[in-house]
Structures are given as C-alpha cells and as structure tokens.
Amino acid sequence: MGYFLLLIIVCIACSYVAYRKGVSDEIARHAEPTAERSATLLYKGAALEKMYQEGSANDKKKLEQLYNRAAAKLPS
C-alpha cells in the first residue's frame, strides 16, 4: 500500500511539472517569433515595400492606410 501511494504522489508531481513546463513553453512561444515566422514577416514586408514602390497613387494610399493600422496595433 505504501508503494502504491508513493507511485500516485510521483505521478501527480510529474504531471504538475510537465504542466508548468508546457505553460512556460507556451508563454515563450508567444513572446518571441520563431525564425520561420520572422522570415515570413520579413518576406511580406519586402513584398509590401516593393508593391508600394511600384504601385499607383491609389495603391500607395491603401498600403499607407494598412501600414498605419498595423503600426497602431504594435505594442510600444
């Protein structure tokens, strides 16, 4: 009976540690973008810049509005 109780306690402790590690991993994942996400954002930013340079006045106006909305949502 003593070993069974010890086994239950160890299982609960391991589950709690795994849960806490999962929570901290989730927080870390949201804190900084992955390399793939960073590369995607850089590619899209370069594509938008190219569109802005090659676009008409109407396109530039729309892209500038989009940029201003996105910039307003960024944390300071």
pLDDT-based confidence at residue 75 (cuts at 50, 70, 90): low
44 and 74 inside one domain: yes
41 and 72 inside one domain: yes
Amino acid at site 58: N
Count of other CB atoms within 10 angstroms of residue 67: 14
d(CA 69, CA 56): 20
pLDDT-based confidence at residue 76 (cuts at 50, 70, 90): low
6 and 22 inside one domain: yes
User: What's the domain range around 54?
Assistant: 35-76
25 and 50 inside one domain: no
23 and 2 inside one domain: yes
Give tens-digit pLDDT for 6-46: 889 998 998 888 888 887 777 766 666 677 777 887 888 88
